Amino acid sequence: MLEEWEEERRRGAVTVGEVGEVLTVGEVGEVLTVGEVGEVLTVGEVGEVLTVGEVGEVLTVGEVGEVLTVGEVGEVLTVGEVGEVLTVGEVGEVLTVGEVGEVLTVGEVGEVLVGLVVPEVLDDSQPLAHEEPGGL
């Protein structure tokens, strides 16, 4: 299972949160699905905002410093300082996220995304859902 996860990472997929869900990023217009939640982020034309299926959907970010690149559009999500505000705008604009396990909540389509720290998921010593406790 760990080998599959590493292969996904090499292909450009990024793990999300403690459950190890994967967002795969491809060409413009590709659909990003979030694991068991099944919510969809769609990336449309150049400079278009990312829309989220349901209001209040929560996305958790895995490792600090991880980068998500969105295909040909070239938008980048980088992990930065706690409590920063995320806005979706011009092509190549950078969205910064706080610490490991920070939660992004989405209000309405096109609104500002604000990071909220959730202490119970900040402990990266906990195994991912696909890992056996006590070892890999």
Compute the average pLDDT of residues 107-127: 42
Q: pLDDT at position 119, please? A: 40
39 is a domain residue: yes
Average pLDDT over residues 62-86: 42
How many domains are there within the chain?
1
Domain for residue 133, yes or no?
Answer: no
Q: Which residue has the higher pLDDT, 3 or 130?
A: 3
76-85: long-range contacts (C-beta < 8 A, 24 or more apart)? Answer: 82/115, 82/117, 83/114, 83/115, 83/117, 84/115, 85/112, 85/113, 85/114, 85/115
User: How confident is residue 135, by pLDDT bands cut at 50, 70 and 90?
Assistant: low
Indicate whether 7 pLDDT > 50: yes
The verdict on residue 90 lying in a domain is: yes
Q: Is the confidence at residue 3, as pLDDT, over 50? A: yes
Boundaries of domain holding 62: 2-121
Per-residue confidence band for 4, with pLDDT thresholds at 50, 70 and 90: low
Quick check: is 126 in a domain?
no
pTM: 0.19
Q: What is the mean pLDDT of the chain?
A: 43
pLDDT of residue 108: 39
How many residues make up the chain in this entry?
Answer: 136
Residue 8 within any structural domain of the chain? yes
